[in-house]
Structure 1
Amino acid sequence: MERAVAQAAGAGLTGLLVTPGPDLTYFTGYRPTAITERITMLVLDADHDPHLILPVLERGDAAGVPVAITDWADGSDPYPAAARLLDPAGRYAISDSAWAMHLLGLQQALPGASFLAMSSALPMLRAIKGAEEVDRLAAAGAAADATYQEIISVRFEGRTEHQVGTDLAGLLTGHGHSQVDFTVVGSGPNGANPHHEMGDRVIERGDMVVLDFGGLKDGYGSDTTRTVHVGPPTTAEQEIFDVVRRAQETAFAAVRPGVPCQEIDRAARRVIEEAGYGEYFIHRTGHGIGLTTHEPPYLVEGESQVLVPGMCFSIEPGIYLPGRFGVRIEDIVTVTETGGRRLNNTSHALQIVT
């Protein structure tokens, strides 16, 4: 919380207003039992101790939160109570997950104050992970790796994408995930859609299959992609796969402190463009990960934020050929003092499945 207040001051802000969601969990460990129309908000600024305003009926749930608490009762207007904790002319970053009705209520109570989205005002707020956070991300990555090692032994041919995706979800849960966020199974032409997820298409021999899956384990995210092939690939399929593998490895090799995020995207994109498939790489190279599976930093052209030890993000270049197939390889990587460290460690080779 002290670091966040210092970051806010450095950005010309009075403070932060943190509402239920990953930001509140990050600062306090508190997850309200129900996120409702009743405002709950942590106030962080340099002039006061951290303060949480919440409905009186939830005070018991927040008993262990290590900050001062102000409650309000149903039937009363919570916004004047919140306003008393704020600078009437302050400039505050507010969580992206805040309800619009709460922001409008604060604006009405404090017409002289201004509010900015947390992601735009303080995009790197949760980007640099501590050692314990990296350990949790590594454990989540290891669980996803174990899931992949098991899924490649199941039968693909003759089963639907949905059936394989259900297997993936079950394996993630079996390896300790409390929440499964996505199980992409893109077979054949469906693999050319990066966010296809899964459908009723029956997987056939000769299909390239994109497997992208992840969720939360002990509060931190996993996200990995491997591309497999049902039976032996054609020469052309193997060549395209090898381009993506080189792009992923080249991008990883570029990771080191002080390098702008966009340079990692450029490194991967350059390999794919030189191979003649630039127009088929249709998304950014990566995204940050932590309490959520997508968060800053983003590895994309135009992002000049430099890499700092402790940042964790995906590196996931791909080639998507409409009507034919897609290929993507994704690892979560953390920045160290000397370079990058992969948090996913399964083989990048094109795995043949049955």
Structure 2
Amino acid sequence: MHLIELKVSRIVNEVKKLFDVDIILLRSRETLAYLFSELYNPPPEDVSISNVLINTKSSYATAYISLLDYHRATETYSDTHLIDFVPVFSHSLTLQSGVKVLSSDEMKREIENAISSAKAFATDFAAFCEQRLCSNIKPIIEVLRRRKVDAELELIRRAIDTTEKVLVNSLMFISPGISERALSGKLIEMAMALGAEGIAFSPIVAIGKNTAKPHHIVQSTVFNGCEPILIDFGVRVRGYVSDVTRMILPKRLCSEYVDVEGDALLISEVIDSVIVNMKPNTTVSAIDSVARDKLKERGLDAYFIHGLGHGIGVDVHEPPRISSNSRHTLLPGDTITVEPGLYFFNKYGVRIEEDVYVDENGGKLLTTSPRILYL
């Protein structure tokens, strides 16, 4: 079964457990990006499908897609027979192949007719349910998106594997004189050569004092041979992403950075403590507290200035958000990052980020490379 057919089937089955509807209308960006992950490119391109109608009896789906991406979609999903792609443009026309292209107004009328003729319908777009009687299924899809199936997990594993190869191989290119910007370019080049379809986000490459900035943007800062380097990197494979952070340390650190290795080892211990406590139905705020309490023992909790992690999937930041004020609980199938850090402004920072899968028994590491890479 094609991954998209599996996703449609999961949505239909879960909706039918709660609601007696014969039509499902999907139109939120999050849902469409999840459903058509192979087509999805984060902004500025985003997802090119605007609406999807699903017949709950047959699980047959009609997807209304921008004419610009119509042929890409039909090629990508040529082996599935449960989805009909309808191209949409500003005005109606007919392609040389005979395929009719709907105008935006024609699409709206077609969707309205389908909804009007249904005895009941459900949608992930809450505004629709303010105007007419329908069932809001956005919470259902949010849970489905979190609970990764094996096929999704395999794509995330592939993305992680590529990312870790890039991080380990980056040591070959790091020598005195290389800049953050040049190293960032090398990471992207290696990732694409290894089969990545794109990067998950702009790489964070921070040298020396720049490691104290959690969301540092690469600059022309040059590595002189004795500074710590923080790399936060991820790639995209068939729409699914990885997100991994490693500390790279030279064998001899400059005098102002002699404490970096000890702090990095402490962060690694924090990660281990967190993973041991990751069980289904545990509140994520409790997981966040495990990390902060461990750092508090050393009087360092005030230097951990962001949440502990987040979900990953077709987007690099998905629910659940792992923080002290989050109300989420861990679910079997969650794939999340665990990324504690310490940041000493204008001095240095350390962060290590692992990707973790939560099954019925607890957290399982997906990342396998050394957390500290030595030059």
- TM-score category (smaller protein): 0.7 to 0.9
1:54 to 2:74 alignment: no
1:82 to 2:98 alignment: no
Within 5 Å, which residues of 2 pair with 1:274-313?
274-313=297-336
Equivalent in the alignment of 2:35: 27
1:195 to 2:193 alignment: no
CA distance in 2, matches of 1:229, 1:294: 28
CA distance in 2, matches of 1:132, 1:75: 34
Q: Is the 8 A contact 2:14 2:140 kept in 1?
A: no
Equivalent in the alignment of 1:352: 374
Unpaired runs of 5+ in structure 2? 1-7, 88-100
Equivalent in the alignment of 2:51: 41
SS of 2:144 mapped into structure 1: coil
Within 5 Å, which residues of 2 pair with 1:295-334?
295-334=318-357
Equivalent in the alignment of 1:174: 193
Equivalent in the alignment of 1:212: 232
CA distance in 1, matches of 2:301, 2:189: 36
CA distance in 2, matches of 1:317, 1:45: 45
What displacement does 1:13 show? 10
Q: Which structure has greater helix proportion?
A: 2
- Of 143-152 and 3-12, the range deviating more from structure 2: 3-12
What displacement does 1:150 show? 0.8
Change (3 A) 1:273 1:85: farther
Change (3 A) 1:75 1:276: closer
Change (3 A) 1:29 1:296: closer
Equivalent in the alignment of 1:124: 143
What displacement does 1:347 show? 1.2
Which one of 235, 251, 270 corresponds to residue 274 of structure 2? 251
Change (3 A) 1:328 1:4: same
Q: 1:263-320 CA deviation, whole Å, 9 max, x = no partner? A: 2222122212322222221211111112222212222223343323322111111111
Unpaired runs of 5+ in structure 1? 96-102
SS of 1:43 mapped into structure 2: strand
- Of 325-334 and 294-303, the range deviating more from structure 2: 294-303
1:150 to 2:169 alignment: yes
Equivalent in the alignment of 1:3: 10
One-letter code aligned to 1:291: V
SS of 1:243 mapped into structure 2: helix
Change (3 A) 1:312 1:32: closer
Change (3 A) 1:83 1:53: farther
SS of 1:251 mapped into structure 2: helix
Count of residue pairs the alignment pairs up = 340
TM norm structure 2: 0.77
Equivalent in the alignment of 1:99: none
What displacement does 1:90 show? 6.0
Which one of 119, 124, 134 corresponds to residue 93 of structure 1? 124
Q: Is the 8 A contact 2:123 2:135 kept in 1?
A: yes
TM norm structure 1: 0.81
CA distance in 1, matches of 2:326, 2:258: 36
What displacement does 1:155 show? 2.4
Q: Is the 8 A contact 1:124 1:296 kept in 2?
A: no
Within 5 Å, which residues of 2 pair with 1:234-273?
234-273=257-296
Equivalent in the alignment of 1:183: 203
Q: Is the 8 A contact 1:212 1:225 kept in 2?
A: yes
Equivalent in the alignment of 1:98: none
Change (3 A) 1:281 1:77: same
One-letter code aligned to 1:93: D
What displacement does 1:229 show? 2.3
Change (3 A) 1:36 1:244: closer
CA distance in 2, matches of 1:61, 1:309: 34
CA distance in 1, matches of 2:329, 2:26: 26
SS of 2:147 mapped into structure 1: coil
CA distance in 2, matches of 1:242, 1:132: 34
CA distance in 2, matches of 1:142, 1:82: 42
Identity of aligned residues (%): 21
Change (3 A) 1:154 1:67: closer
SS of 2:146 mapped into structure 1: coil
What displacement does 1:189 show? 1.9
**Alignment RMSD, CA only?**
3.6
Change (3 A) 1:204 1:38: closer
Change (3 A) 1:338 1:199: same
Equivalent in the alignment of 1:342: 365
Q: Is the 8 A contact 2:38 2:238 kept in 1?
A: no
Change (3 A) 1:17 1:208: farther
What displacement does 1:26 show? 4.2
One-letter code aligned to 1:4: I
CA distance in 2, matches of 1:242, 1:279: 18
What displacement does 1:335 show? 1.4
